[in-house]
């Protein structure tokens, strides 16, 4: 078993970290305070080759895999998870086109993403259908050569700034099984009948755009169907099985960044005439933080390697996402505690890391859903 990264992977890792140091740090506080999406930063990331890393070369992408995605996400999130999400999630939803779309769809849409010509969104979650994906009620009814979409979506990443979205809709309401009623449909975000409202006041990842979307008699060509009609639920479950690797990597990077901040602070801060780092209790805490981070890193890298080698493991990916999210929440809590009162004020970045961490136990499958995914595969 070889744990060594390739030279190309190390180059991606190094590129992402240097990019984040240079471009994230000057913007992080401002984008967090103002809940501002960093469009210029996204363009720079496209120019640097950091967007759409897994898009194959024949569609204009770098042709990387899940390992490269994990490495880049980790390093960006190490500096700021909200800005990292703005970069990495610019392609969110397009993975369904790569997996199930027609050749025409792949050529039309995927090539727009690495070059900064378009941003995608995945319009899945609804006000009353989060973890219960099969409970989605947005309808797409056939009319001539179109679908007519009516319904609403909630907590949609990139909702107000995307150019296209892949929406989960009910197309086969009379199918006996709920999981056979839905389809994925590509929607131009500027189509008449779409209302997009930015959600403000989030606890964390405030640089990332999140929105409520309403569809009122929105007409979309039937040729925008992704994959097979009625297969949307299963396609989306496969999508989540894969993208949990990226979310797990966010948690890993955030936790590592929090440890970086803690290490710096405890060496600079003096109490009772000595640096905090001289206190054995602090050293033990730092050691446990480092241990949990390394355990998360190993399970994530294993999950990414298996995905890239045709051995996608939904259970392992759920474990990685669950553990990395829990680790991020735990590590940021300990890191903030080491900062004392300074960790509680806006001037110090650790409070932003602390706020950002909690979403990792909620989105892309709440931690309870990860346990269900794991448990189902134990028998």
Active-site residue list: 364
**195, β-bridge pairs:** 214
Question: What burial class does residue 2 get, using C-beta atoms within 10 Å of its C-beta: 0-12 exposed, 13-18 middle, 19+ buried?
Answer: exposed
**SS (HEC) of the chain:** CCCCCCHHHHHHHHHHHHHHHHHCCCCHHHHHHHCCCCHHHHHHHHHHCCCCCCCCHHHCCCCCCHHHHHHHHHHHHHHCHHHHHHHHHHHCCCHHHHHHCCHHHHHHHHHHCCCCCCCEEEECCECCECCCHHHCCCEEEEECCEEEEEEEEEEEECCCCCCEEEEEEECCCCCCCHHHCEEEEEEECCCCCEEEEECCCCCCCCCCCEEEEEEEEEEEEHHHEECCCCCHHHHHHHHHHHHHHHHHHHHHHHHHHHHHHHHHHHHHCEECCEEHHHCHHHHHHHHHHHHHHHHHHHHHHHHHHHHHCCCCCHHHHHHHHHHHHHHHHHHHHHHHHHHHHHHHCCCCCHHHHHHHHHHHHCCCCCHHHHHHHHHHCCC
């Amino acid at each position: 078993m070889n744990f060594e990264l390739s030279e190309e992977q190390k180059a991606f890792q190094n590129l992402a970290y240097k990019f984040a140091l240079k471009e994230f740090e000057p913007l992080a506080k401002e984008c967090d305070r103002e809940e501002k999406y960093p469009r210029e930063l996204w363009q720079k990331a496209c120019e640097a080759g950091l967007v759409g890393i897994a898009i194959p070369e024949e569609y204009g992408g770098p042709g990387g895999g899940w390992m490269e995605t994990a490495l880049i996400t980790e390093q960006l999130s190490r500096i700021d998870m909200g800005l990292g999400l703005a970069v990495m999630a610019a392609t969110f939803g397009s993975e369904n086109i790569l997996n199930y779309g027609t050749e025409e769809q792949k050529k039309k849409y995927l090539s727009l993403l690495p070059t900064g010509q378009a941003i995608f969104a995945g319009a899945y979650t609804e006000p009353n259908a989060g973890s219960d994906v099969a409970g989605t009620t947005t309808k797409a009814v056939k009319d001539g050569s179109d679908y007519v979409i009516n319904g609403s979506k909630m907590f949609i990443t990139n909702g107000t700034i995307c150019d296209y979205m892949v929406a989960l809709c009910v197309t086969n309401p009379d199918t006996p099984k709920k999981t056979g009623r839905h389809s994925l449909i590509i929607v131009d975000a500027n189509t008449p009948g779409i209302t997009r409202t930015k959600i403000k006041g989030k606890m964390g990842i405030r640089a990332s755009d999140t929105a409520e979307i309403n569809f009122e008699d929105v007409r979309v060509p039937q040729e925008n169907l992704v994959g097979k009609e009625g297969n949307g639920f299963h396609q989306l479950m496969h999508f989540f099985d894969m993208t949990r690797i990226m979310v797990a990597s966010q948690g890993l990077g955030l936790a590592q960044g929090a440890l970086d901040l803690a290490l710096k602070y405890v060496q600079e801060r003096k109490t009772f005439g000595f640096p905090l780092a001289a206190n054995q209790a602090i050293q033990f805490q730092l050691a446990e933080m480092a241990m949990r981070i390394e355990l998360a890193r190993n399970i994530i890298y294993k999950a990414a390697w298996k995905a890239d080698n045709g051995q996608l493991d939904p259970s392992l990916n759920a474990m990685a996402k669950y553990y990395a999210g829990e680790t991020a929440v735990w590590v940021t809590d300990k890191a903030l505690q080491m900062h004392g009162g300074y960790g509680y004020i806006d001037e110090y970045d650790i409070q932003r890391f602390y706020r950002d961490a909690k979403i990792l136990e909620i989105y892309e499958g709440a931690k309870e859903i990860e346990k269900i995914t794991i448990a189902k595969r134990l028998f």
